[in-house]
A and B are shown apart, each in its own frame.
Chain A
Amino acid sequence: MERYATPADEPFAVPVWEGQPDFYRADLQFHGVGHRGDSYEGRVFFDAPDATPATPLELDAGYAGSFYVFGHGPCFGDEGHCEVPPGPIHPFDYRTVHHLAPQSMVVTVTEAVKRVIAAGKSEFAVTVVPTNVRDEEVGDILHFERLSLVTYD
């Protein structure tokens, strides 16, 4: 995908409810992250759908944090080399996990979530802008299967 934005009808609810102790840490967990192609930084913003690589990396601008993907580049192998096969096919199948098996990424967003709560909001949207080291937005490189917000108290 070009960039990720939480669907308008599926924002994240702020993780607070009556009687809950204050959380000390909040993580955004990205599951099933693909890492083909170039390396990039996934910049995460809250309630900033128009964020670009030029948006300041500051809480005031909605910046919550970044994750960094170490990309595999193009496929340096024979036909099928970069197709991820199904997992172990036998109890003694000790072969290495495929080099393009999906990964997970974690961004600790404690301060950004607390800021949303302090603003009196009940929900917030997440935008991820894939950016290279030249501060250019990178197209069609961001791939993941699930996004979770996890808090710890």
Chain B
Amino acid sequence: MFAAVMATPLRSPILTTPRVRHRKSIEKLRPDQLKALRDGFAAIKKLHDTNGFWFWAELHGAPKNKCEHSPENGYDNLFLPWHRAYLYRLELALQTKVPAATLPWWDWPASRTSGGIPAAYEDLAGELNPLAGADFPPRIAELTAAEGMPTNTWREPGDPSRLPSKAEVNSILELKNFDDFSKTLEVQLHNRVHGWVRGSMGIVAIAAYDPIFWAHHTMVDRLWALWQTLHSSRGPRPGVWKRILRGGLDLTVGDVLDTHALGYDYAASTANRVVDS
């Protein structure tokens, strides 16, 4: 037995851990990657179980209202950890149906000059684009209809020049204190982009039903990952690492501090060569 084990060729320990996937800018997805994303969203929209799109969308706002945004007191802000876990769970649902699907990030500064809403999230001529919008579940549709609103997601974007600039993003990345960084990122950039898209994205209760919500929050998560690298810091103080992220995400703050532990990283580009040795 021992000899058999010893005879097993040595393998890199990394092969025993989940592969790290790279989330990329929506503008830089290859056609096959964009297709995987679209196929993934199309697949989970058909589900009504814990991999279903509605299951996750309704957790953020109506009817479950479990999302974390910055508290009045200004400290122990779980906005970033909660949304990282939230993205992770939806990405797992996507990958359960389409293994190659990864969540892309919406490069807000790039969209200032490329027309605003990324083309991948716009309607397609003569073809259904699952990223262009979504129906609300019946009980939410009843409520929106009662308010004179559509029964599916809608957008009313502003002038693209009002999206955050590269300089604004960089100035926030320079903030050294995590609570300061998190609060400023949330209020000055995250909230602003929600209000810029307007429509259902501008309403906390129904924002997560719009597929672009997930690209928007992946950008927010990316900025936290960049901040962690720039400042050699996880962010939240250790006293909150054991806190459970609510709403059935089944993860603690400590679980989501390292994107590699969750099996992903952010990249501008990647290149791979398969080596047969």
List the interface of chain A (C-beta within 8 A of B). Answer: 31-32, 35, 38-41, 66-74, 76-77, 96-97, 99, 101-106, 108, 132-134
Say if the beta carbon of B204 comes within 8 Å of chain A: yes
Question: Which residues of A are found within 8 Å of B205, using beta-carbon distances?
Answer: 72-73, 76
List the interface of chain B (C-beta within 8 A of A). Answer: 61-63, 65-67, 69-74, 140, 143-144, 147, 156-159, 162, 183-184, 187-188, 190-192, 194-196, 198, 202-207, 246
- Compute the total of residue contacts between A and B using a CB distance below 8 Å: 97
Partner of A39, one of B61, B66, B188, B195: B195
Nearest-neighbour CB distance to chain B for A67, whole angstroms, equals 6
Known: A70-B191, A70-B195. A39 touches B203 (CB 8 A): yes
Question: Which residues of A are found within 8 Å of B159, using beta-carbon distances?
Answer: 133
Contact A104 B188 (CB under 8 A): no
Nearest-neighbour CB distance to chain B for A63, whole angstroms, equals 15
Partner of B162, one of A70, A76, A104, A133: A133
Contact B190 A70 (CB under 8 A): yes
Q: A71-B204, A73-B202, A99-B61 are in contact. List 14 more A-B contacts (CB 8 A).
A: A39-B202, A67-B187, A67-B191, A68-B187, A68-B191, A70-B194, A73-B203, A76-B144, A77-B143, A99-B65, A99-B67, A132-B195, A132-B198, A133-B157
Contact B195 A76 (CB under 8 A): no
Contact B202 A38 (CB under 8 A): yes
Contact A106 B187 (CB under 8 A): yes
Give the complex CA separation of A60 and B162 in angstroms: 20
